[in-house]
Structure 1
Amino acid sequence: MALISIDRERGLLTAEFQGLDKLWTFSSRLEIPLAHVRGATHDPGIAREPKGVKVGGTHFPGLITAGRFRRDGERLFWDVKNPDKAIVIQLADAEHYDRLILEVDDPRATVRLIEQSITRG
């Protein structure tokens, strides 16, 4: 699971990975400039979509999808075990990823936090 935080002063969205998710994703955190965040949605159905080619991480169908994937030229970062808690963060001008698909504790509140942070400019 990822903990999402917004640092308005530094202009960053941070996703920190908890527990074994650090191992599954090969990452402890991602920092994304808020200027690169286009939006976020709660999307439990995303887990049924094809994942693409695993570049680095873990994929056990139906159990966990974590790490870096490429699909149709798109660069994706996954950290999802429970699809009901999955959010999708769309990125623009991103250096590393086009979308982040992350499991969070409260999807609706997290999407609201992200959306409010990017609309305030």
Structure 2
Amino acid sequence: MVKIEQQDDVVVFVVEGWHKLWALRSELRIPQANIKGARRDAQASHAFGLRIPGTHVPGFLKAGTFYIDGFFGSKPSFIDVRHDANTIVVDLADEQFNRLIIEVEDPDAAVALLTRLATPTS
């Protein structure tokens, strides 16, 4: 599971518990300006992809770096999902990853927060 924290103009995605080991990451720091949007998608983690590095136990867990849009000429996605119902997708620009596909405790609240942060203020 991933916890989302806002620190000034940076959004920190904290990978919690054993997921740090499975995903081989403890956190991702994304500038607020690089978040394009967020949405719920319970099926997003089911996309087929090349895992480099990470963990995939079908029906149980998918965590780590996955090339789901093809390997050559594309950026990978970061995935950390155990329970599909709590999955959100965070679309990114100008980052190491194209998107984050993550499980969060409260998907509706996370999407609302990230959508608010992705919307430029006038």
TM-score strictly above 0.5:
yes
Question: Does the 8 Å CA contact 2:3/2:15 hold for their aligned counterparts?
Answer: yes
* Match of residue 67 from structure 1: 64
CA distance in 2, matches of 1:48, 1:119: 28
4+ residue segments displaced more than 2 Å: none
Counterpart in 1 of 2:80?
Answer: 79
- Amino acid corresponding to residue 116 of structure 1 in structure 2: R
Offset at residue 13 of structure 1 (A): 1.0
The whole-number CA distance in structure 2 between the counterparts of 1:64 and 1:4 is: 20
SS state at 1:44 partner: coil
CA distance in 1, matches of 2:116, 2:35: 11
- 1:92 maps to 93
Q: What is the alpha-carbon distance in structure 2 between the residues aligned to residue 102 and residue 47 of structure 1?
A: 8
Matched-pair contact (CA < 8 Å) for 2:11–2:29: yes
- Aligned mates of 2:92, 2:120 — CA distance in 1: 17
Report the equivalent of 1:40: 38
TM-score, structure 2 normalization:
0.91
1:38: Cα distance to partner? 0.2
In structure 2, the partner of 1:106 is 106
Asked if the contact 1:37–1:90 (Cα under 8 Å) also holds between the matched residues in 2, the reply is yes
What is the identity percentage for the equivalent residue pairs of Structure 1 and Structure 2? 36
After TM superposition, the structure 1 = structure 2 runs for residues 21-40 of structure 1, keeping only pairs within 5 Å, are: 21-40=19-38
Q: AA paired with 2:104?
A: V
Following superposition, the deviation at residue 47 of structure 1 comes to 2.8
Amino acid at match of 1:86: T
- Report how many aligned residue pairs link the two structures: 117
The alpha carbon displacement at 1:120 in A equals: 4.5
So what's the TM-score if we normalise by structure 1?
Answer: 0.91
Structure 1 segments unaligned to the other structure (5+ residues): none
